[in-house]
Amino acid sequence: MIDARKTLSLSVQFNEIRTNNESEMTEMPAMHAEIILAIFTSFCLLSSAEISEYVIKSERLPPDLNFMPTLGNGHMGYTVFGDAIFMNGVYNGEGGNSRRARIPNWLNLSVAKIQYEEWELAIIPDMFELQLQDGYFRWLFAYEANGLQVKLEQRTYPHRYYNRALIYELFVQCTGAIDPLLIKLNRKPGGKSEAFDFSPLDSANGTVSFKMLQGVTRRLEHRNFQTEPRKIFVAFSDDWKNEHTIELSAGQEELYYRYVITADEREEIARQEMAEVIKLTPEILFQRHALEWRAFWSDFNIQIDGNLELSHIVNAGIFYLANSLPSLNTSHLNGAYFGLSPTGLGRGQLDADYEGHNFWDTEIWMLPAITQFSTRWAEQLLQYRFEHLRGARYNAKQTGYQGARYPWESAYTGTEVINPCCLEIAAEEIHISPDIVLALQHHYAVTHSKEWLCRVAWPIAKEVAEFLVSRVRDDGRKFHLEGVMGPDEDHSNVTDNVYTNVVVKQSLEFASFARSMCVLTDGRPDVWLDIARRMQILYDEKLDYHPQHLGYKRGEIVKQADVVLLGYPIQFAMSNVTRRNDLLNYEAVIRESGPAMSWSMFAINFLDVKDIEKANLYFQRGYKDYIRPEFKVWSENKIGFQGSANFLTGIGGFLQTIVNGYGSVRVQLDGNQSVMVIQKTYCLPTSKGFTINGIKFAQSRFSLKIRANGTTTLSCVEKGDLNIELLVDTQKYAVQEHFSIDLTGSTASLRTI
């Protein structure tokens, strides 16, 4: 438990940071400072059992080191003990060969041996720990013999405030040594970079000097959109090769060693960040990092009661997803953010890592959870799409269509960079463009920001709508889409995939809405709404279900959730009987090697049709078979099948199951009003209850507490500027800060006024 003395100490040290480094830091926003103060208040109340929910310990490493934790801060990322560091937006390779540009992992340091007198002691750590609350990984070792006691702690983290910096720290405690202790460090950065040519730079920087390298990528992604290679500048706090020895003098009881790498696309930022970091004391450096993570956990968290293992899985999932996103408070301003790929910022060189590209995974699978983390993060992800409209226009033109057609895979330039293995997917999975529009719609419903709607959402929705108009075929009665592929990639070149047609319909409806909000109409017939009304939505009246596409035969194996997405997340209107029939028809035909998030969607949709037993089955199936036990790292496919590691897409689906499934939180538009509906809630299986803290809606934050005894409590923990009313059954309430109400057995609707 964090006691008052520790809280005071953190407060004092935070003030020291502000006082001692005022000239080196950007001004902290007032709201952020308030969050920091709230952290100290809230975390001092946590019990030791609750703190343990944020600590994952393992006495061994995973057999496959690919499943080590991936750490990041939105600017850089790496996998612990891996051979690569990656930087946001830095790719190398032409077209489909573009992938994240690998920087050798010069931070991959570890104590290999201790030499004392005539003997050498090889270091085999006793414990490995992933500290989620403060955002770092550490490994521990202790030795005791013949009166000599040695304790080692090593830790590594990408700094969350000084986010151009990657940190390795070594703490040594020693008693009983009558001779010097030699501590031998090894570094394993991997081979030379396949992406960069590195050259040394002059290291002088006033009174401080350090080693500097310049890296230049070797190949352009698309010459029409990228005229020069990417340049990065890397600074090192120490200049040594792959071995280094530190001496602990006889009688010396403590030793601290720190190795820092800073990197940026601007040389002066890499230099400045290094100069600032190396001046800080160990305590201040670490606490400035930890404060940012605690600010995050204070703003959003999910508390699981009565199931520590599930709590670890939930918290690790949140951590892995969040640590690839940009630091929101930094020593130097961030540049543009280049999106969130399925395995995060700390991966991307390998095909198994999807080369670090962006897919529909961002908008459909990850963004609903990320929006609850922070609407600022959601805006940055959607800003990536806005800033790459030019690439989407180019893609539409190159494929013979109008408007903006977002590529199936995008990276630095926003043009199509699909792996050469799978060109038919890029040609046929056109649903990514309307998927992006529906993400815009969801974000507007959550934030209710008309300024953002007209500045960002409307320009994208308009051009995607123009693409869809040029892509559909009109038979005089219905509009059709031919030669497409839905989320199920086992069926290609089909007609009227029902998922694709529904998201096209809904995106055209939102485009028409955005136009009505943002521009003056000319009174002409609305072509977009006409297509939406006449879009072919396949439906088998006799069997009361939706065939996946024209010609689909019941019982055919499919790769992943496709039709079942119509209920949630798409929220397509249908009867519960039809929805249940869809679930029953497709649950038996998902292939065994399918990805994790399919089962999460089955869980949510079975909850909606009130089949709790099946929902609980699929909820547990959606994570238990996909998580490596040591550090709760996700795999794309079940254990026993090959798949990507650190699979954020699966994590996003899993978190939606908790927030939007068992928590029943749904956000939608009703005319020009934003509405958040909470219907029947359910306790998570194998738990005594759970609380979602930090639900975002209409500039306000809410908590939702669900107990095993069936009670549900909704509370407003922070009220924004927008007026909100709450309707529970037939009773209306004005929502104010600290407002709380029992929702047990009722449907609640929060609505902007």
**Residues marked as catalytic:** 489
Contacts of 67 (CB under 8 A, 6+ apart): 628, 630, 631, 633, 635, 645, 646
Token look-up 């394993």 returns 188
Give the residue among 608, 531, 622, 534 at the shortest CA–CA distance from 564. Answer: 608
Instruction: List, in order, residues 6 or more apart from 724 with CB less than 8 Å away.
Output: 697, 698, 700, 734, 735, 750, 751, 752, 753
State how far the Cα of 318 lies from the Cα of 464, in Å rounded to an integer: 31
Which of 115, 263, 91, 80 has the alpha carbon at shortest distance from 188?
80
Residues in the chain: 753
φ/ψ of 621, rounded to 5, equals: -65, -30
* Tokens read off for 735: 């929502």
What is the rounded CA–CA span in Å between residue 156 and residue 167?
6
Give the list of residues 6+ apart from residue 705 with CB closer than 8 angstroms, or none: 689, 690, 691, 712, 713, 715
734 pairs with which residues across the strands?
Answer: 725
> Residue 86's closest CA among 324, 360, 351?
324
Of 649, 636, 15, nearest to 283 by C-alpha is 15
Q: Cα–Cα distance between 68 and 78 in angstroms, integer?
A: 10
- One-letter amino acid at 90 equals V
Dist. CA 625–CA 628, nearest whole Å: 8
DSSP string, 719-730: --SS-EEEEETT
Helix (H, G, I), strand (E, B) or coil at 616: helix
The token pair that represents 51 in the structure block? 């703190």
Long-range contacts made by residues 49-52, C-beta under 8 angstroms, separation at least 24?
A: 49/308, 50/303, 51/1, 51/2, 51/133, 52/308
Q: What does the DSSP assignment read for 138-152?
A: EEEEEEEETTEEEEE
Please state the separation of Cα 21 from the chain's center in Å: 31
- Alpha-carbon distance of 658 to 679, in angstroms, equals 14
**Residue 492 three-state SS:** coil
Q: Dump the DSSP string for 685-701.
A: TTSSEEEEEEEEETTEE
**Omega cis (within 30) before 595:** no
Q: What are the distances in angstroms from CA 246 to CA 36, 167, 170, 238, 243?
A: 37, 18, 11, 12, 10
Cβ atoms of residues 244 and 187 within 8 Å: yes
Task: Please identify which residue in the block is written with the tokens 């280094």.
Answer: 244
Per DSSP, the residues of 564-614 read GGGTTTT-----HHHHHHHHHHHHTTB-TT--THHHHHHHHHHHHTT-HHH
